[in-house]
Structure 1
Amino acid sequence: MNEESNVNHGRSLLIKAILIFPVLWIVLTVFNGVAFWHSTILGVALLLISYLGDLMILPRVGNMTATIGDLALGFIVLWGGLNLLGYSESLGEAFLAGAIISVGEYFFHSWLLKTQYGNTYV
């Protein structure tokens, strides 16, 4: 049986969006002057890319490795995206937002493994 067949993607994406967007809006837009739409576009990109990683990588490598991967992915996507959008001094903002999101990702992964994948050994 395919592990992904039990996953409620709508619920999982909603929870992940609730985790990512407020962090980006607060860290990037409120405190660092990044345009709201730029933060939102980066949030959509990060949401979709990291969710695909959660589906493909999380069940195979476990929570801690996936969380470290999310930290690296979040930093790279945010830093690269901010630079592409013209925010050249964005290293700190990208790392801070990625780190905060990664803390939430650890708990999201635990929930996902328990409720969606049926893994009781999280």
Structure 2
Amino acid sequence: MKHIKAIGIKFIVISIVLFSILASFYTATLTDILLLSVLITGVAYVVGDLYILPRFGNLVATTADFGLSFFAIWVLSNLLFLADYGVVTASFFSAVLISSSEALFHIYMQNKILNHQKDMYIDRKSTMGNLQTEFAEENPNKDIIELNKEDNKED
């Protein structure tokens, strides 16, 4: 359920950014923008948020999301609505806006989705069998502890 909410937030942000840039300057239809948003959201969530973010951190994941968004918007917009000019510029500005929002989204992901410490608990029954015993040398013939001769001289 947590992942569905995170994917929904990511999808809405990417859709708003793509709609504001591609629909304003190109003949991109709402269907084209939603298809682009679904593809970018799915790939970026799996690669950037679930794989790169926990292993390498926010900066590397944001940089990877920038590259992925730029490349995906550039290639898919050429395939979907065949823009003649400025696709690289629109892809760049879209990727900048998406990656700046992704930096904030990664903080949300680290605190709410990927934080496993709140769910962790210790089962005391399983740890009781793992106790260790301390071993020492004992002389069974003597019940009295003998002090060193140096300690007796101080008296």
* Residues 65-95 of structure 1, C-alpha deviations (whole Å, 9 max, x = no match): 1001100000000000011122242111111
Percent identity of the aligned residues? 31
Q: Which runs of 4+ in 1 moved over 6 A?
A: none
The normalised TM-score by structure 2 is: 0.69
Corresponding residue for residue 60 of structure 2: 65
5+ residue gaps, structure 1: 1-6
Contact 2:26 2:83 in 1 (8 A): no
User: How many aligned residue pairs are there?
Assistant: 114
> Rg larger in 1 or in 2?
2
The normalised TM-score by structure 1 is: 0.86
Q: CA RMSD in A?
A: 1.7
1:92 to 89, 114, 123: 89
The structure whose residues are more often helix, as a share, is 1
SS of aligned partner of 1:47: helix
Q: Using the TM superposition, name which of 79-88 and 18-27 deviates more.
A: 79-88
5+ residue gaps, structure 2: 118-155
Residue 16 (structure 1) shift: 0.5
1:31 to 20, 25, 42: 25
Residue 40 (structure 1) shift: 1.3
* Residues in 1 aligned to 2:57 and 2:8: alpha-carbon distance in whole angstroms: 22
